[in-house]
């Protein structure tokens, strides 16, 4: 059986850039991807220089076209179900039972979001409700906006989003903001707080017009930012044994190495800090360079 230099799991910007650097380094690589990225709900990605505003699927198409120039890289449009460490190699098993051995693994599987359970929320998410103001704040600038988050995240998100609009209301969806100090600070900056439960969102084709509350009153809002729970998009055999951080993200060092030798992680799957295409791609590049460095050391030692 052929042994791959590296199996890259996940074909978002992190995995794609990892595969590019590996292909250019003449490393036998397969990129496995089942094409269920987090940003499938949106039609524009912002903040990636030379690609600002690109459709995420177009971004992926261009990336895959670029990878096709490199004969050592191939793409399998399949989900990986299991990865098991067997001595110094990894056994990778896909959903249809195909098996591959690889010397190194790059996990670039991203995360999944769980939105608060509010009627119609999914119709608006990715169109006028977003999670990251650095990604979508510019498009919503100067509009009447909402921050929808509970006590834990509301204060922080409101401070950040206030950079893009002076007309901001925090909706805690039935939760209380416990800190009087935080409440007063927000109010002193003209940010009001609504602690009623949200009944539903009102608008057409994903464009928010009003937020309807439990008492049937409505508040005019044209968009906003909503806090979601983040979970790993994939989990593998416990023989990989990498450590997770408090948010459930895979812990790595600056070279994207996990604490399991031979396993690297990059992009959203680390759930550490801002989540953006360009950051994921940069980490993918770093992971591939680290894989190369390890393979070179193994050759010369
Ligand atoms: C609504 C919304 C808007 C956004 N807007 C922007 C923006 O404007 N600008 C920006 O920079 N960022 C934006 N983002 C964030 C951006 O989408 C992520 O930061 C980025 O996609 C992370 O890249 P990634 O490669 O780590 O993960 P992903 O892009 O999520 O890719 C992971 C891939 O791995 C695959 N996968 C997972 N498990 C397996 C498995 N077991 N086997 C095979 N494949 C697997 C998935 O199907 C997926 O294709 C937005 C996100 C959302 C939700």
Q: Is 230 in the pocket of ligand 1 (CB under 6 A)?
A: no
Taking CA atoms only, the protein residue closest to ligand 1 atom 44 is: 33
The predicted pLDDT at position 300 comes to 97
CA distances from 175 to 46, 198, 227, 242 (A): 32, 11, 13, 35
- Interatomic CA distance for residues 73 and 288, integer angstroms: 13
- Map residue 141 onto helix, strand or coil: coil
Distance 241 CA to ligand 1 centre (A): 23
Q: Is 222 in the pocket of ligand 1 (CB under 6 A)?
A: no
Q: Which atom of ligand 1 is nearest to the CA of 234?
A: 38
Taking CA atoms only, the protein residue closest to ligand 1 atom 51 is: 39
User: Which residues of the chain does CATH 3.50.50.60 include?
Assistant: 3-113+229-300, 116-226
The predicted pLDDT at position 239 comes to 75
Segment among 147-151, 220-224, 257-261, 280-284 with least mean pLDDT:
147-151
Q: Give, for 213, the enclosing helix (H) or strand (E).
A: strand 207-213
Q: Is 270 in the pocket of ligand 1 (CB under 6 A)?
A: no
A 10 A CB-CB count for 297 gives: 9
Distance 162 CA to ligand 1 centre (A): 26
- The preferred substitution site among 234, 277, 286, 287 for testing ligand 1, maximizing ligand atoms within 8 Å of CB, is 277
Distance 121 CA to ligand 1 centre (A): 20
| Residues 6+ positions from 232 with CB-CB distance below 8 Å | 109, 111, 112, 248, 249, 250, 269, 271
Contact 1, 101 (CB under 8 A): yes
Q: Of 132, 120, 85, which Cα lies nearest the Cα of 238?
A: 85
Going by pLDDT thresholds of 50, 70 and 90, the confidence category of residue 25 is: very high
Distance 255 CA to ligand 1 centre (A): 20
Q: Is 80 in the pocket of ligand 1 (CB under 6 A)?
A: yes
Distance 197 CA to ligand 1 centre (A): 30
Q: Which atom of ligand 1 is nearest to the CA of 32?
A: 43
**Residue-averaged pLDDT of the chain:** 96
Q: Is 34 in the pocket of ligand 1 (CB under 6 A)?
A: yes
Q: Is 232 in the pocket of ligand 1 (CB under 6 A)?
A: no
Segment among 100-114, 123-137, 228-242 with least mean pLDDT:
228-242
Distance 37 CA to ligand 1 centre (A): 4
Q: Of 201, 17, 180, which Cα lies nearest the Cα of 116?
A: 201
Taking CA atoms only, the protein residue closest to ligand 1 atom 34 is: 10
- Would you mind telling me the total number of residues written for the chain in this entry? 301
Contact 281, 15 (CB under 8 A): no
The predicted pLDDT at position 235 comes to 84
C-alpha angle 181-182-187 in degrees, rounded to nearest 5: 100
Q: Is 63 in the pocket of ligand 1 (CB under 6 A)?
A: no
Backbone φ and ψ for 246, nearest 5 degrees, come out as -60, -25
What is the architecture, at CATH level 2, of domain 116-226? 3-Layer(bba) Sandwich (3.50)
- For 29-60, how does the pLDDT look when each residue is reduced to its tens digit (9 = 90+)? 999 999 999 999 999 999 999 999 999 999 99
Going by pLDDT thresholds of 50, 70 and 90, the confidence category of residue 151 is: confident
Give the rounded percent of residues in the chain with a pLDDT score beyond 90: 93
The predicted pLDDT at position 96 comes to 94
Q: Is 105 in the pocket of ligand 1 (CB under 6 A)?
A: no
The CATH superfamily label for domain 3-113+229-300 reads FAD/NAD(P)-binding domain (3.50.50.60)
Going by pLDDT thresholds of 50, 70 and 90, the confidence category of residue 177 is: confident
3-state SS, the chain, equals: CCEEEEEEECCCHHHHHHHHHHHHCCCCEEEECCCCCHHHHCCCECCCCCCCCECHHHHHHHHHHHHCCCCCEEEECCCEEEEEEECCEEEEEECCCCEEEEEEEEECCCEEEECCCCCCHHHHECCCEECCHHHHCHHHCCCCEEEECCHHHHHHHHHHHCCCCCCEEEECCCCCCCCHHHHHHHHHCCCEEECCCEEEEEEECCEEEEEEECCCCEEECCEEEECCEEEECCCCCHHHCCCECCCCCECCCCCCECCCCCEEECHHHHCCCCCCHHHHHHHHHHHHHHHHHHHHHHHHC
């Amino acid at each position: 059986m052929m042994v791959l230099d590296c199996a890259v799991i996940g074909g978002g910007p992190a995995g794609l850039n990892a595969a590019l650097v590996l292909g250019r380094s003449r490393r036998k690589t397969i990129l496995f991807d089942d094409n269920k990225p987090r940003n499938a709900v949106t039609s524009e990605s912002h903040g990636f220089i030379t690609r600002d505003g690109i459709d995420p699927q177009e971004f992926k198409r261009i990336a895959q076209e670029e990878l096709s120039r490199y004969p050592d890289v191939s793409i399998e449009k399949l989900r990986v179900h299991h990865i098991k460490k067997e001595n110094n190699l990894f056994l990778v098993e896909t959903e249809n039972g195909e098996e591959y051995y690889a010397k190194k693994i790059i996990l670039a599987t991203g995360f999944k979001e769980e939105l608060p359970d509010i009627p119609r929320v999914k119709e608006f998410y990715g169109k006028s409700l977003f999670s990251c103001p650095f990604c979508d704040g510019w498009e919503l600038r100067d509009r009447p906006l909402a921050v929808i988050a509970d006590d834990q995240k509301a204060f922080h998100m409101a401070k950040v989003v206030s950079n893009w609009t002076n007309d901001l209301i925090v909706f805690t969806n039935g939760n209380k903001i416990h800190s009087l100090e935080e409440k007063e600070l927000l109010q002193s900056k003209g940010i009001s707080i609504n602690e009623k439960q949200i009944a539903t969102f009102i608008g057409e084709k994903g464009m928010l017009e009003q937020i309807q509350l439990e008492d049937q009153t409505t508040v005019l809002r044209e968009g906003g930012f909503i806090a979601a729970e983040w979970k790993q998009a994939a989990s593998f055999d416990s023989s990989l044994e990498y450590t997770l951080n408090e948010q459930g993200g895979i812990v790595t060092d600056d070279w994207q190495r996990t604490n399991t030798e031979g396993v690297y992680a990059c992009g959203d799957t680390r759930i550490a800090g801002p989540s953006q295409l360009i950051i994921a791609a940069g980490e993918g590049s770093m992971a591939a360079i680290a894989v190369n460095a390890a393979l070179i050391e193994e050759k010369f030692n």
